[in-house]
Chains A and B, each alone.
Chain A
């Protein structure tokens, strides 16, 4: 049992100060902009909730939000099962384990714009390995600067390439923590591989999978750099996800009011969905 101790606040204080400095001041700046209109020269007019209404009603925001949900949904239903399958088929011990882990973790440590640039080089028609292979060897017309479908497939494959390893590493960590005795017991009972997975492996992976799903949700929902470098949001607006649209409004058009309102709506959606995931996945533990 944890003991009640209010002095524990002193331990938390440094964290609190640093994070508050970084979080509260900027978020208040955003709130400030979101309810005002400015024509420059630091002159502001009270605008109320007009920007929020305008953003929520705009087709542009709804379209970007729709694309964002589609992207995140596809990422989660591809990466989570794939990561689990790969983790299950990895060797439990031996010299190949560290080799596998190091190679798998490699994509995660590449700066995000390098990831975008790398996939750009990789998919260029005529010059890139994938672009050449698709167009000139298989004869499938593939050019993500022209074809929205190709652009979507490319950003999805890029993200699977980039982040599936996180799910693999976390699931694998959950799997190696299962004592051998569990498997022996299952063998004696004559349990099928599916039953072993369903009743032994999956429950043991639950906590790490919760982390994996939450992290993958947050990061894919907030994704900016990789698709921006790869497609720039195009062709047209077909891959303009929420962050890309937000940066366009804020820094491209310098519409600070609408951009700030959009930021807050965006943040609220991320919070809400993360909270839902978190409550749903941990509700059994609370009992």
Chain B
């Protein structure tokens, strides 16, 4: 038994090493970083973080990212819910083709869409707004949300719906009061994945923004351009981008494992 638990421990240690290095770097001064190797910060400093929290162009990057990620998660889950219900409960003309077509959008390389997206959102006057990025991320998040939710809904017996109708529930009333609570784990998992893929995506977010809605991840490229010079600052900004993700995982930690078991392809 003891030998067995060695594998996950080694794996987690491997996962933590680069993260540790990023965090350690963020507490070092630029001088110390460039002067050579040190496992722990010799002169512990919070200067890198101070720069980020006092410069609006840095901290607005975070706020922008959080705004569009939240809008995207809400839109994706909200429109995916009825669609997933339709796919799991009814047969209708072209349902299989439609489902596959939705999934194909999950397969489209973001690099393919970068330029046309820029033209599309510029022409409708949404360039450099949070809503543009949120809508663009719907391209790959809605299909994923429909896929996950459909799996969860398929696990709920149809008798539940029928009994509710017999009891005189109207459809919206049934959906909100009875159905949603039964699949709340699925909603949690779907929201988690939408948050995740919107938070980590950069290519489209960067293409669709200039100043007003610029994500934090794009903000970071300004230190990378002078590579080796502001590594401490880069490390601090990177460390801060891990935190929202960590908080979100903490909330859904009990759903993740159970969640997929209920879901199906």
Contact = CB atoms under 8 A, between A and B. Distances in A.
Contact of A30 (B110, B112, B216, B262): B112
B82 A101 contact: no
A26 interface: yes
B242 A25 contact: no
B257 A121 contact: no
Interface size class of B (residues with CB under 8 A): 35 or more
Contact of B257 (A110, A172, A207): A172
Given A110-B200, A169-B260, A102 B91 contact: no
Contacts of B39: 129
A89 B107 contact: no
B112 A246 contact: yes
Contacts of B220: 113-114, 117
B176 interface: no
Interface string A208-229: 1011000000100110110001
Given A26-B117, A107-B15, A251-B115, A274 B107 contact: yes
A266 B234 CA distance: 33
Interface in A84-140: 85-86, 89-91, 97-98, 100-114, 117-119, 121-122, 126-130, 132, 136
B112 A89 contact: no
Interface string A4-48: 111111011011101101110111011000000000000000000
Interface in A170-214: 170, 172-174, 176-177, 207-208, 210-211
**Does more than half of chain A's interface fall in helix, strand or loop, or is it mixed?**
helix
A7 B89 CA distance: 12
Interface of B: 4-8, 11-12, 14-22, 25, 33-34, 36-37, 39, 75, 79-80, 82-83, 85-87, 89-93, 95, 98, 102-117, 119-120, 135-136, 138-139, 142-143, 146, 196, 199-203, 216-217, 220-221, 224, 231, 234-235, 237-238, 241-242, 244-246, 248-250, 253-254, 256-265
Given A86-B7, A98-B253, A111-B216, 16 more contacts: A5-B90, A12-B86, A15-B142, A21-B135, A91-B5, A106-B249, A108-B200, A109-B246, A111-B241, A118-B238, A127-B37, A136-B37, A173-B261, A218-B106, A259-B115, A271-B104
30 contacts: A2-B90, A8-B92, A11-B86, A15-B79, A18-B75, A21-B135, A22-B105, A22-B136, A22-B138, A29-B115, A89-B7, A89-B8, A106-B245, A108-B196, A110-B200, A110-B241, A110-B242, A110-B245, A111-B201, A112-B217, A127-B34, A127-B36, A128-B21, A173-B256, A222-B111, A225-B202, A246-B112, A250-B114, A251-B114, A259-B115
